Amino acid sequence: MAKPHESDLDDAGATSVRAVDRAIAILQSFSAENPTMSVIDIQKRVGLSRPTLYRLLHTLSQRGLIQAEGDPQRFRLAHGVMSLAHVWLKALDAVQIARPIVEGLRDVTGETAALFKLQDDRGICILECESRHVLSISRGVGDSLSISQGATGKAMLAFMEKDRQTEFLNRMPRDAHRASLEQALAIARRKGFTTSQSEIILGAVAVAAPFFDHRGAVVGAVGLYGPNVRVSHDHQEEFANLVVEAGRKISGLLGFQSKDLAAEERQQASPVKPRPRVRPQS
């Protein structure tokens, strides 16, 4: 029996890859703004001929990735996509995902950078990249404090679901401390980050921002902290920009896609200014 020519195999492989690429393009054409689409809608987005598009839609439907409904017929993503998303979410490891980002914060600033996870009403340090300075601030992996304390705790409290935040605050006495905390949370919501000075460790300055999961729920905070003799007010402003951006990146890697409320409020409140680069101090 004659063997297939090598060029025929190349053509067949290219055709298969092209079909996969087109199928992926169809799946990616759906969005939160366009969860259901007609064949014409999909065709406009992927640029395929009607026969080719129908063949691919049929294949995706057989695999449980697309489903058709209604008359006239419209298509939406099916349960198979959720199954794949569930597998992806189960495999996510916040520490592994965030480590390069947290290490980058430490290397750019020269100060200790850390990742905290929200667990019940406490923030637990799950990753810490300690400053290489002789004089440094460290809380240590496993350190746990109430979310009413410190920059990282208040970053999580400020951005958690309103009902859960209210429930937490209502367990506190209505005194000057609670009033001060509520004011700090309102400022954090507006700015997108929190700061603290000598609140947990005497002489320490901390700046933190939240990060979110795929549902938009706050799941932790990323922070920078160092001694006040080295972290000036100008450094705090730059650190704030850095932790907010780090929180945004970690959130994106965890599947969060929407713009957070604080980012929108900051954008409306003031124009974006160029940021000087913070250099590690020796």
Which of 21-25, 101-105, 232-236 has the lowest average pLDDT?
232-236
Prediction pTM value: 0.64
pLDDT in tens, 162-189: 999 999 999 999 888 899 999 999 999 9
pLDDT over 60 at 281, yes or no: no
CA distance 35 to 238: 39
- Asked if residues 69 and 76 have their Cβ atoms less than 8 Å apart, the reply is yes
pLDDT over 70 at 275, yes or no: no
Edge-to-edge strand order for the sheet containing 36-37? 36-37, 74-77, 66-69
Where exactly does CATH 3.30.450.40 map onto the chain?
A: 92-269
Where exactly does CATH 1.10.10.10 map onto the chain?
A: 6-89
pLDDT in tens, 8-32: 444 555 556 888 999 999 999 998 7
- Asked if residues 92 and 215 have their Cβ atoms less than 8 Å apart, the reply is no
Buried b (16+ CB within 10 A) or exposed e, 249-274: bbbebbebeeebebeeebeeeeeeee
6, 9, 13, 14: CA torsion to nearest 10: 60
Fold (CATH) for 6-89: Arc Repressor Mutant, subunit A (1.10.10)
Rounded to 5 degrees, φ, ψ at 60 are -65, -35
Question: What's the chain's length in residues?
Answer: 282
Which of 18-27, 49-58, 234-243, 250-259 has the lowest average pLDDT?
250-259
User: What's the confidence (pLDDT) of residue 18?
Assistant: 87
pLDDT in tens, 247-262: 999 999 988 876 544 4
Between 32 and 50, name the one with better pLDDT.
50
Say what percent of the chain tops pLDDT 90: 57
User: What's the confidence (pLDDT) of residue 260?
Assistant: 45
User: What's the confidence (pLDDT) of residue 8?
Assistant: 45
Superfamily of domain 92-269 in CATH is GAF domain (3.30.450.40)
Which of 5-19, 41-55, 232-246 has the lowest average pLDDT?
5-19
Query: Around 179, how many Cα atoms within 13 Å sit in the side-chain half-sphere?
Result: 3
For the chain, give the mean pLDDT: 84
Tokens read off for 40: 């014409």
Nearest residue to 121 (alpha-carbon basis) of 166, 77, 184: 166
User: What's the confidence (pLDDT) of residue 90?
Assistant: 58
User: What's the confidence (pLDDT) of residue 13?
Assistant: 53
User: What's the confidence (pLDDT) of residue 72?
Assistant: 87
DSSP characters for 58-113? Answer: HHHHHTTSEEEETTTTEEEE-HHHHHHHHHHHHT--HHHHHHHHHHHHHHHHSSEE
DSSP characters for 50-63? Answer: HHHHHHHHHHHHHT
Alpha-carbon distances, residue 279 vs 43, 75, 178, 240, 244 (angstroms)? 50, 52, 37, 15, 18
pLDDT in tens, 204-231: 999 999 999 988 999 999 999 999 999 8
User: What's the confidence (pLDDT) of residue 130?
Assistant: 94
